């Protein structure tokens, strides 16, 4: 068999799912991302968090470590999870890769105090239009009590925080009043979703995932529910998206940003959705003044651990396999256009054909700009 033949669909050959975070402004998307990124995970403890460019990669060991309290012995079949770093970045939700959404799965953040808001509904509609799976993070659960208890200033009398704990464990520690308050809010929000034509349910009560969307109560401040969220994202993706997540040698790659970086010139930050990129690959990207044909000079990612994350220094890779966020340096990228595809020229490929395909992406970017 040819070396570059598309591998068989197989659960043992999956790429990492790509996840984005959506929702109304101020629901805590940024905070939740911080929390997921594990700024509160002890250094070295979980190990190997790599803050990527435009996207953060979590290796499976990291997820396993952070979800061990959930006692989910289920095997993680994907190598990790790639979370896009730009919540709320308008254009991001529109980014596509070869006609389908760049994200395999999304976290839809809803503020428990506010319920569904205009941008929640907008996000919801986008997700439905793109047929993207999502999980609802019912955020700010720790503040329920701050507002409703008589002890506004003292968290100890209200919602009891237990840092980064699974949600069921946290829930059991709450007083009856707090639980009642929570349940009342939850019921209202489930009703609001129903009004949008969606069935939702607390994830640990959800017996018909796929029909009914799961809600995970979270606190982006103290991390409760975040283990549940990580585990469900990974488990649900690997269970239901085997075909989509099957690793494939055909490169699928989208340019997120075009940036000038000191010492590197103009670089592009990309999300590699599938396939593998090599140093020295000939690539074509869509440019303002026509297709850009160039050669990958360097494939860069930030250093994994934070004390090494010195500004401006990157790890160099000979090759990188999907799914990953990568900074690419190459000549002639000055006029590259964010939101378009990156194409690798193979030995058998016709340069002109690929140029044409690359420039097609311009139309869809322009369409999006027109609409916004």
Binding site for ligand GDP (CB under 6 A): 25-31, 87-88, 139-140, 142-143, 219-221
Q: For residues 26 and 61, which CB has a smaller minimum distance to ligand GDP in the complex?
A: 26
Q: For residues 215 and 268, which CB has a smaller minimum distance to ligand GDP in the complex?
A: 215
Q: Least distance from C-beta 92 to ligand GDP, angstroms?
A: 13
Q: For residues 88 and 166, which CB has a smaller minimum distance to ligand GDP in the complex?
A: 88
Q: Least distance from C-beta 27 to ligand GDP, angstroms?
A: 5
Q: Could you give the CA distance from residue 182 to residue 113 in angstroms, rounded to a whole number?
A: 10
Q: Could you give the CA distance from residue 296 to residue 271 in angstroms, rounded to a whole number?
A: 15
Q: For residues 159 and 343, which CB has a smaller minimum distance to ligand GDP in the complex?
A: 159
Instruction: Spell out a b/e string for 268-293, using b for 16 or more CB atoms within 10 Å of the CB, else e.
Output: bbbbbbbbbbebebbbbbbbeeebbb
Angle of helix 226-240 relative to helix 29-36, nearest 10 degrees?
80
Q: Least distance from C-beta 94 to ligand GDP, angstroms?
A: 18
* Cα 153 to Cα 111, 221, 238, 280, distances in angstroms: 20, 16, 43, 59
Q: Least distance from C-beta 46 to ligand GDP, angstroms?
A: 21
Q: Least distance from C-beta 157 to ligand GDP, angstroms?
A: 15
Asked if 164 and 134 touch (Cβ cutoff 8 Å), the reply is no
Q: For residues 84 and 344, which CB has a smaller minimum distance to ligand GDP in the complex?
A: 84
Q: For residues 178 and 323, which CB has a smaller minimum distance to ligand GDP in the complex?
A: 178
HSE value, Cβ hemisphere, 13 Å, CA-based, for 345: 19
**Cross-strand pairs, 59:** 80
Q: Could you give the CA distance from residue 101 to residue 132 in angstroms, rounded to a whole number?
A: 7
Residue nearest to ligand GDP (CB): 28
Angle (CA) 179-221-162 rounded to 5° is 55
Q: Least distance from C-beta 220 to ligand GDP, angstroms?
A: 3
Closest CA to 302 of 284, 324, 283, 322: 324
Closest CA to 19 of 43, 36, 44, 4: 36
Q: For residues 162 and 331, which CB has a smaller minimum distance to ligand GDP in the complex?
A: 162
Q: Least distance from C-beta 199 to ligand GDP, angstroms?
A: 25
Q: Least distance from C-beta 111 to ligand GDP, angstroms?
A: 8
Closest CA to 235 of 135, 103, 141: 135
**Cross-strand pairs, 271:** 254, 325
Q: For residues 35 and 300, which CB has a smaller minimum distance to ligand GDP in the complex?
A: 35
């Amino acid at each position: 068999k040819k070396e570059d033949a598309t591998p068989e669909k197989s659960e043992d050959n999956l790429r990492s799912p790509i996840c984005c975070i959506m929702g109304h402004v101020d629901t805590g998307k940024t905070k939740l991302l911080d929390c997921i990124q594990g700024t509160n995970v002890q250094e070295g403890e979980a190990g190997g968090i790599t803050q990527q460019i435009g996207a953060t990669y979590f290796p499976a060991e990291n997820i396993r470590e952070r979800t061990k309290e959930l006692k989910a012995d289920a095997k993680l079949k994907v190598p990790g999870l790639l979370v896009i770093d730009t919540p709320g970045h308008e254009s991001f939700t529109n980014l596509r890769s070869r006609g389908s959404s760049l994200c395999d799965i999304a976290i839809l953040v809803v503020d428990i105090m506010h319920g569904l808001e205009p941008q929640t509904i907008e996000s919801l509609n986008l997700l439905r239009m793109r047929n993207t799976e999502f999980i609802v993070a019912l955020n700010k659960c720790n503040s329920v009590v701050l507002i409703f208890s008589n002890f506004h200033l003292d968290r100890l009398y209200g919602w009891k925080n237990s840092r980064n704990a699974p949600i069921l464990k946290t829930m059991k520690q709450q007083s009856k009043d707090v639980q009642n308050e929570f349940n009342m809010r939850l019921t209202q929000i489930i009703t609001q979703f129903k009004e949008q034509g969606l069935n939702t349910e607390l994830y640990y009560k959800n017996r018909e995932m796929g029909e009914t969307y799961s809600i995970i109560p979270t606190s982006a401040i103290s991390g409760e529910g975040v283990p549940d969220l990580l585990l469900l994202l990974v488990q649900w993706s690997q269970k239901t998206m085997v075909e989509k997540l099957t690793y494939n040698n055909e490169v699928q790659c989208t340019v997120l940003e075009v940036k000038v970086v000191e010492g590197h010139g103009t670089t592009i930050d990309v999300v590699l959705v599938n396939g593998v990129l090599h140093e020295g690959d000939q690539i074509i990207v869509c440019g303002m003044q026509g297709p850009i044909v160039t050669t990958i000079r360097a494939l860069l990612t930030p250093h994994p651990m934070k004390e090494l994350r010195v500004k401006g220094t990157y790890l160099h890779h000979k090759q990188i396999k999907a799914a990953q966020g990568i900074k690419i340096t190459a000549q002639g990228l000055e006029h590259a256009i964010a939101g378009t595809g990156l194409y690798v020229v193979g030995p058998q490929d016709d340069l002109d054909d690929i140029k044409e395909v690359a420039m097609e992406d311009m139309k869809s970017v322009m369409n999006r700009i027109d609409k916004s």
